[in-house]
Structure 1
Amino acid sequence: MSPALPVKTQLSYHDRALETCTLLSSSYLSSSPIAHEILVRDLADCFDDEYDQDDDYKCDTASILEPDFDGAPVSHCPSLISRPNGIAYGTLRPAIAAEAAGSPALNTRDIAESRNAERSLLRDNHILPPKHPRPVAPEPLWKQLYRRCFSTKIPPTEVAVLVVADTATSPPGPLHSAFVIPTKSLDSSTTPLLYTSHPCPPSPRTPNPQQQHSPNWPTAISSPNLLRTTWQREAATLTQYSRSLVVTFLLHYSVTVTSVFTVGRIGRVELGAVSLATMTANITCYAPFQGLATCLDTLCAQAYGSGHRRLVGLQLQRMTWLLWMLLVPVGVLWWYSGVVLGWMIPERETARLAGVYLRVLVLGTPGVAAFESGKRFVQAQGLFRATTWVLLVGAPVNVLANWFFVWKMGWGFVGAASAVVFTQNLLPLLLFLYVRFVEGMECWNGFSRRALSNWGPMIKLALPGMIMVEAQYFAFEVLTLASSQFGSSYLAAQSVVVTLTSTTFNISFPLSIAASTRVANLIGARLNDAARTSAKVGLVAGCLVGLFNLTLLSSLRFKLPFLFTKDEEVAAIVSHVLPICAVLQIFDSLAAVSHGLLRGIGRQGIGGYTNLFAHYLVALPISFATGWYLGWELEGLWLGVTIGLAVVFIVELWYLHQADWEHAVEEADMRVQLDEAHLFAFK
């Protein structure tokens, strides 16, 4: 107990809150002064309410004064813990907002998974004994070939054994531990270490994976690039990271796909109207809401990570109320959208139907706002599986809702919009049930009137994310508005093409998140050589995914259109555009992975500005020139997008090649040391 504690107990609750937050500020909020201001205000209000005992909101004071994990000290040694953040997904193409600031919030599951990853890497480098020892008997030839091709271990011929002497005992003292490292990494002139021809057994002490790091992990990463990785290990890790994300993204986007699929069976004009209505909804509501909600990646994660877990629920309420208030102007705009769209496109009937679709769709916007905030609420707690489980239930129900409203009830075009509304309101309800009955309730302390205050700093923090997401959405949505100038057939064809390319991008984009997470892990653990290896594997994986998508779209270009429409003219237009979209898949996938790698090394700003430059100053001018001036129509519009994405990939790949990865490691190491220093100061 600190000697100063009796003095501190004489301070008011308000002063204690300010002092506590000051100690935590550099640790969790050093890169976000606005978030710091929000937490200071909330803590001050929280302590005042606890002192007065007359508010329904009670501060989680125990989490401020007690360490996590049952009183065990949390090690701040660099680990393999990282989380994707700032991701907006659900409609059209996923987008990346401004990077969330602060350290990731940890829980026992995160730490246990990190320890398992650390042990696997130590085994690959022969520092720990293998999990499954190789049998003494000779292996069959096929098994030897399999091991040679897919084994994640560093080849024994490329390593030497290094033994660290125990400096706590007098020479010749017992050996403390043994490490196997790459022979090319050894420098006998500068390394005061002993060598032997065989590894000593590892330390018998096995720490609790929820409290400490893996055996020898801190010592192993203390030497630069002591640990190495293989392409097999990185390929397996990227697959593990991305597979659940692919399922989540595709399930969420299936709400839009099912609507397009259903309406395409009704008629050409209706299919074009859905495309026009979806464009309007994305630009005026979904993209801004997703961008605003990304600020919760900072606020909720930092409130959770600093121990103030009940404030996570407060941030959820505050953002939800803000988004619901913004629904008033959105509802007015959508109610009169048929008239507004009629001024912009030549097809009056298409504009009228789009207005009808939006009038129905406005009933689902409260659910959209609640679900966007709710996703951040569970993700801040490390409950990424919650959204997946919700969508595993919601996506099939959405298909049934489309069948019921459109065909069973005979509502037709309006029934498709009703199914979307039903699903949009169902998803937040399912998420609430998950939190209430499965996990995540610890961060909720009931409704509070404090959610109606302190909005100013939150809005300032959210605006950059909204602008970034809106800019990325608008660059693609403007193509829908442009295609409407060519006629209803081209607008319907644009709906099909956008749906197909967005579906394939929901495979590439999760891979980019996985690559970003893995590279950030390795950079944070000071393993820049391993991070480079992982980046190369990520780029190869992106190329393979792009080739798969290219093969799929090019080989089935005469069949895929008829999944969405029976109109021969629309299908013919789509089949002519798909070869260009097939080539686009290569650059689209590689650009996404490159941008993810830039996020992993802390250079996400480069990728963001490159995307905006390429979309607005390269892609759109070329699209308009080829679409109208050369008369290539829809093919010309997508040619410009393809060239723009090629520019994005080339610029980002060049920057990755020229980037100083050692400097990125130093920056990450400085952040870890700052976190550790302030943690000890707090305790």
Structure 2
Amino acid sequence: MHEDPSPGLGRPDDRRGSVLSSLLPESLSLPPLYLSTSPIAREILQHDIEDVSDESAIASSSESDSDAEVDPSADPSAEDVKLAFHPSGIVYGCGFSTIPLPGVDRPVPNPREIEESLRAEVELLRDNDILPPKHRHGSVVERVYHHIFSPEGSPGHETYVTLGGPAETTPLLMVDTEDEPQTPPPEDVHKLWEEAVAAHHLKTSWQRETKTLVLYALPLILTFVLHYSVTIGSVLTVGRLGMLELGAVNLATMTASITCYVPVQGLATCLDTLCSIAYGAKQPGLVGLQCQRMTILLWLLMAPIAVVWWFSEPILTALVPDGDIAHLAAVYLRILIIGMPGVAAFESGKRFVQSQGLFHITTISLALGAPLSFLQNYVFVFCWGWGFSGAAMAMAITQNLLPVLLVLYVWLFEGSECWNGLSRKALRNWGPMIRLALPGMVMVWCQFSVLEILTIAAGQFGPAKLAAQSILVTVTSTSFNIPFPLAIATSTRVANMIGAGLSDAAQLTAKVAVVAACVVGTINFSLYVGLRKQIARVFTPDEEVIAITSKVMLICACMQIVDSLAAVTHGILRGLGRQAIGSYANLLSYYLIALPVGLSTAFALGWELSGLWIGLTAGLAAVSAIELLYLCHADWEIAVAQAESIMRSEDATNAELKHH
């Protein structure tokens, strides 16, 4: 970080002599939230480096490491990048209604993030007229574009700010030629960036932040929708079989999620830390080793879960009065045991490619797997006459197909440099990994278990209500795949700005995101109200279920606004490094408001399914209110200082790992 005073942008040096100076010393002491996992991650990687240092399995990666460890000045974009301070809890390809994933630590920037960071720096420098625009302002359209994206107070398009002395590219940039101005090399961009920050010239506009959030969120929306479409296909198919089948698939899916899928995702969050740090420390062979170890661990944990699923019928019968629904749900779970290995492998595989910045591989795998899932549902259920069991088989096959597609892409195209084959070293050093993974699993499980409790409660009101619950959960989870990616985009952008010391820009991003959440929530509200009967008919032809669903969907429509707000405010908190605030707010609101209100209105007042969703809506309203209140009174400049300390700490960690 630049050491020049920058009071307007919230740098730590600005506050010397201020009220905050005593709270933010030069060696800032961070709360346990930030640093508690770092020693564990360092311990894991150091042990692995020591274990494999003499092994031929890692010899190739060691040779590449020696070649890669060159003078940092040779790769200025990687060393000087300022907008790659990404938040934790970013897990691509998964997402459940009202469940933000907290994560355990901040990933190290990967090549794609570094490239995006450089592009973002150039855009902001151009918006502030520190670099000439990409196109000369000749046409009316170009002048309007520049006027829209230039922040208030920028010098104007006729005059470009000169910062410091002339660089190599200065004459080229400032000469008025008919050719398009060239983008300067990364070292010059970073130099201009640092000088602009020190001179308080960098500002942003709401138009720029809106465009950035949309561009960040769109590919994530595609990924999340593709991933959840596997579940949607199963529910759509089963809904054509009857009311009992529709209720059973919801009960089975919720049970599978709470007992297996959510714990697996929670445990795998530690790979976000381990794989990214290993890759950032120029130890690519350890990325594959960590994924191997986690996959084996998850497979072992799934063995007792599979036993529970196989003998789940007595348990489900005790929870749900209708024995037929419990029996069908148990059948569905037994078949899903086949897909367990694929679930674990895909969660580890996603982290394997994401640590390298290859996010598109997950999307491509889902883009191929999701349509095949729909095809399998149609063939197994209707063409081959397997009925309800066919839908479960389609789900299980798809779960195993997704990691196969991911592995094939890595093997044939890109990402294989971090894989050195299977190694017995993956069977050792499990203790620290388990300690690192457990907090993420517990937090995610506690948050998601609320939906399972509500599903069990819905089963007490009869098969029609449980079938309607299945539709409502599917629809709300699908619509949540818009605000949740928006929340991820927001947390990324806010963290970028905080890491760069631009607290004012981060606050503007947060305001834009909150407005965007309200817009998304309002659009979803309108769709729910206007199309509530048509949406229900997509899932089932049963008129009783359609009537119940359309009635309760009015409550779900109201929930959309607070659901979107809760997701985005939690994303802002993640970007600030305050994800613990959001996680605790979620837990308190769910267990002290959502469940008590939902269960009491459902049973004591006799509102049944409507009461359950009123409780969940009240809980989400409380979450969004708490998080908005906190953000209104948060000190963003403290977050800037803490971000700087985190980056200093992690730079030291990476340097230490590289020397092993």
With normalisation by structure 1, the TM-score equals: 0.85
Residue 588 of structure 1 pairs with residue 592 of structure 2: no
Aligned equivalent of 1:482, options 457, 460, 476: 457
Residue 152 of structure 1 pairs with residue 152 of structure 2: no
The 1:219/1:103 distance shift into structure 2, 3 A limit, reads farther
Aligned equivalent of 1:101, options 97, 101, 105: 105
Cα distance in 2 for partners of 1:123, 1:485 equals 60
The 1:59/1:84 distance shift into structure 2, 3 A limit, reads farther
State the shift of 1:70 in Å: 9.2
| Contact residue 57 and residue 448 of structure 1 kept, 8 A | no
Aligned to 1:47: 53
Aligned to 1:132: 135
Aligned to 2:448: 473
Deviations 1:227-270 (Å, cap 9, x if unpaired)? 00001100110011000000000000001011000000000001
- Bigger mean CA offset, 305-314 vs 32-41: 32-41
Aligned to 1:400: 375
The AA in structure 1 aligned to 2:415 is: G
Cα distance in 1 for partners of 2:327, 2:654 equals 60
Cα distance in 2 for partners of 1:636, 1:234 equals 39
SS at match of 1:227: coil
SS at match of 2:313: helix
Deviations 1:344-397 (Å, cap 9, x if unpaired)? 211001101111111111101111110011011111111111100111111111
The 1:163/1:425 distance shift into structure 2, 3 A limit, reads closer
The AA in structure 1 aligned to 2:103 is: E
Cα distance in 2 for partners of 1:86, 1:568 equals 41
- Bigger mean CA offset, 289-298 vs 111-120: 111-120
Aligned to 2:22: none
The AA in structure 2 aligned to 1:420 is: M
State the shift of 1:73 in Å: 4.1
| Contact residue 94 and residue 506 of structure 1 kept, 8 A | no
| Contact residue 310 and residue 334 of structure 2 kept, 8 A | yes
Cα distance in 2 for partners of 1:90, 1:601 equals 22
State the shift of 1:405 in Å: 0.5
State the shift of 1:219 in Å: 1.4
State the shift of 1:666 in Å: 1.4
For 1:44-443, list aligned pairs within 5 A.
44-49=50-55, 56=57, 58=59, 60-67=61-68, 72-74=74-76, 76-83=79-86, 85-87=88-90, 90=94, 92-93=96-97, 95-102=99-106, 104-107=108-111, 109-135=112-138, 139=140, 143=141, 147=145, 151-155=148-152, 163-164=162-163, 166=165, 208-209=185-186, 213-214=189-190, 216-223=192-199, 225-443=200-418
Residue 448 of structure 1 pairs with residue 454 of structure 2: no
State the shift of 1:62 in Å: 2.9
| Contact residue 268 and residue 488 of structure 1 kept, 8 A | yes
For 1:504-653, list aligned pairs within 5 A.
504-653=479-628
CA RMSD of aligned residues (A): 2.7
| Contact residue 34 and residue 461 of structure 1 kept, 8 A | yes
State the shift of 1:408 in Å: 1.0
Cα distance in 1 for partners of 2:480, 2:349 equals 24
Deviations 1:574-622 (Å, cap 9, x if unpaired)? 0110111000000000110000000001111000000000001011000
State the shift of 1:520 in Å: 0.5
The 1:461/1:370 distance shift into structure 2, 3 A limit, reads same
| Contact residue 57 and residue 446 of structure 1 kept, 8 A | no
| Contact residue 263 and residue 413 of structure 1 kept, 8 A | yes
Deviations 1:27-53 (Å, cap 9, x if unpaired)? x98851111111111011112435xxx
| Contact residue 291 and residue 466 of structure 1 kept, 8 A | yes
State the shift of 1:91 in Å: 6.3
State the shift of 1:564 in Å: 0.5
Cα distance in 2 for partners of 1:602, 1:207 equals 33
SS at match of 2:276: helix
The 1:423/1:580 distance shift into structure 2, 3 A limit, reads same
Cα distance in 2 for partners of 1:214, 1:38 equals 34
The AA in structure 2 aligned to 1:154 is: P
Cα distance in 2 for partners of 1:63, 1:356 equals 50
State the shift of 1:157 in Å: 6.9
The AA in structure 2 aligned to 1:218 is: E
The AA in structure 2 aligned to 1:116 is: R
The AA in structure 1 aligned to 2:452 is: E
Cα distance in 2 for partners of 1:95, 1:68 equals 40
Cα distance in 2 for partners of 1:586, 1:679 equals 42
SS at match of 2:150: coil
5+ residue gaps, structure 1, are 1-27, 51-55, 167-173, 179-198
Deviations 1:522-573 (Å, cap 9, x if unpaired)? 1111111111111111111111110111011110012111111111111110
| Contact residue 86 and residue 106 of structure 2 kept, 8 A | no
With normalisation by structure 2, the TM-score equals: 0.88
| Contact residue 488 and residue 571 of structure 2 kept, 8 A | yes
The AA in structure 2 aligned to 1:428 is: P
State the shift of 1:100 in Å: 3.6
| Contact residue 242 and residue 514 of structure 1 kept, 8 A | yes
| Contact residue 122 and residue 189 of structure 2 kept, 8 A | no
Cα distance in 2 for partners of 1:177, 1:673 equals 31
Cα distance in 1 for partners of 2:651, 2:46 equals 21
Aligned equivalent of 1:463, options 429, 433, 438: 438
State the shift of 1:333 in Å: 0.3
Cα distance in 1 for partners of 2:603, 2:557 equals 22
| Contact residue 105 and residue 301 of structure 1 kept, 8 A | yes
| Contact residue 61 and residue 285 of structure 2 kept, 8 A | yes
Aligned to 2:647: 672
Cα distance in 2 for partners of 1:620, 1:484 equals 15
Aligned to 1:21: none
Cα distance in 2 for partners of 1:502, 1:454 equals 37
Cα distance in 1 for partners of 2:327, 2:155 equals 69
Q: Which has the higher contact order (CA 8 A, sep 6+)?
A: 2
- Larger of the two Rg values belongs to structure: 1
The AA in structure 2 aligned to 1:101 is: D
State the shift of 1:96 in Å: 3.7
| Contact residue 239 and residue 539 of structure 2 kept, 8 A | yes
Q: Which has the higher helix share?
A: 2
Cα distance in 2 for partners of 1:132, 1:351 equals 64
SS at match of 1:154: coil
Deviations 1:305-348 (Å, cap 9, x if unpaired)? 11111000000100000111112101110001112111121100
The 1:675/1:207 distance shift into structure 2, 3 A limit, reads farther
5+ residue gaps, structure 2, are 1-33
SS at match of 1:506: coil
Cα distance in 2 for partners of 1:640, 1:61 equals 55
The AA in structure 1 aligned to 2:124 is: L
| Contact residue 267 and residue 440 of structure 2 kept, 8 A | yes
State the shift of 1:111 in Å: 2.6
